[in-house]
Amino acid sequence: MKKNIALITGGLGFIGSTLAKNLIKRKIASNCILLDNFGSFINPLKTNYNDYRQRRIISDKRFIIERGDASNSQIVLNLFKKYKPTLVYHTAALPLAKIENLNATEASIGSIDATKNLIENLNFVRSLTKNYSIKRFVYFSSSMIYGDFKIKNIHENIGANPKEIYGTMKYAGEVITKGLCNYYNIPYTTIRPSAVYGPTDMNQRVSQIFIEKAIKGQKILIQGKDEKLDFTYIKDLVDGVILASTKKNGVNNTFNITNGKGRSLIEFTKILKKYFPKLNYKITSRDNFRPKRGTLSILKANKLLGYKPKYSIEKGIKEYLSYLKEINFY
């Protein structure tokens, strides 16, 4: 049986690097090509943050790091010619919805330009190469494509209704993935994650901000007393992605891969308070820039893929804190 070679865009990112390690560990791929532009979206002049990127780098010949941008046609073409990956995971994009100076042009690079570039070059190289078949192209979208959650459990068949640039561009990438992959007969899968957290996250997501403030003894500001997120531990997300990208039921399909249970920011903070009793928090008005979210249904992923998340936020926070203690963060 021919071994899989996986190409992961954003391969040194939080999600990409964790996915790569698991593809190798579970022997799904013999090699992982990590395409990354080595970019950082946090401004060190304005934000005091911890750079975990070196902890994502893997010293193992099975992991091959290639520097470049997935929107660069020549770079992508050369990589497909050189490695002929059978699994392609497109995780590269701006990592946050609210980034300073975010604009539609910048946000479209990862979700639109790079997606189109990857699929078209993949098809081109496949057409020129004998016995080269692609098993799956996996596009990483976002729960932000749904906009404001207007029902209790958001399922995949609810129409997209993004209310800001990030969700709009992520959904545009979904449309491009579906249209081009159908046209070129490339099997694809779309993943919609939510509020991912865990070791080596450094992109200032709310979970990371809250945990690091708790450790430092700083007050946590909670925007909205009823604000909920479907917090998803990184290990659960990777489990779901691997199931979706390797099982037949995942072909040409879209899945919410989340915890499947919305939890309030206050709940998240109170769990932290058990570890840091002196922790203080203040509830402020919510940021209307962001859509109002909650629980995503994972019934489809459970039924078709057998996906069952293992980490409640209680368990996820405990493991995350253990990791931070292990690396002497506190």
Q: Is the pLDDT of residue 93 over 90?
A: no
What distance in Å separates the CA atoms of residue 110 and residue 57, rounded to the nearest whole number? Answer: 22
Say which residues have a Cβ less than 8 Å from residue 270's Cβ, sequence separation at least 6: none
87 compared with 2, residue with greater pLDDT:
87
Give domain status of residue 322, yes or no: no
- Mean pLDDT for 194-211 is 86
Give domain status of residue 16, yes or no: yes
Maximum Cα–Cα distance across the chain: 64
> What average pLDDT does the structure give for the chain?
90
Q: Is the pLDDT of residue 102 over 80?
A: no
User: What single DSSP character describes residue 209?
Assistant: H
Can you list the positions of beta strands (E) in 230-296?
232-233, 253-256, 263-264, 281-284, 295-296
Give domain status of residue 224, yes or no: no
- 101: tokens are 């100076």
Q: Is the pLDDT of residue 34 over 50?
A: yes
Residue pointed to by tokens 């405990």: 318
Contact predicate 230/262, CB 8 Å: yes
What distance in Å separates the CA atoms of residue 137 and residue 122, rounded to the nearest whole number? Answer: 9
Q: At what angle do helices 313-326 and 206-216 cross, to 10 degrees?
A: 60
- pLDDT interval class at 286 (50, 70, 90): confident
Per-residue pLDDT, 328 = 85
* Backbone φ, ψ for residue 223 (5° rounding): -90, 95
Q: Is the pLDDT of residue 45 over 50?
A: no
User: What single DSSP character describes residue 322?
Assistant: H
**Strand pairing partners for 220?**
281
- pLDDT interval class at 3 (50, 70, 90): confident
Burial 13-49 (b: 16+ CB within 10 A, else e): bbbbbbbbbbbbeeebbebbbbbbbeeeebeeeeeeb
CATH of residue 42's domain is 3.40.50.720
| Domain span including residue 69 | 5-196+234-259+295-311
- 171: tokens are 């959904």
What distance in Å separates the CA atoms of residue 265 and residue 296, rounded to the nearest whole number? Answer: 16
Contact predicate 99/151, CB 8 Å: no
Q: 63-67 and 87-90: which strand pairing?
A: unpaired
Domain count, the chain: 1
Give domain status of residue 222, yes or no: no
Give domain status of residue 223, yes or no: no
Q: Residue 38: which region, alpha, beta or left (left: phi > 0; alpha: psi -120 to 50)?
A: left
Lowest mean pLDDT among 103-107, 148-152, 169-173: 103-107
Give domain status of residue 67, yes or no: yes
What distance in Å separates the CA atoms of residue 36 and residue 10, rounded to the nearest whole number? Answer: 5
Give domain status of residue 266, yes or no: no
CA angle 49, 54, 58 (to 5 degrees): 150
Residue pointed to by tokens 């979208």: 141
Residue pointed to by tokens 């879209």: 254
Handedness of CA 306, 188, 16, 148 (dihedral sign): negative
Give domain status of residue 321, yes or no: no
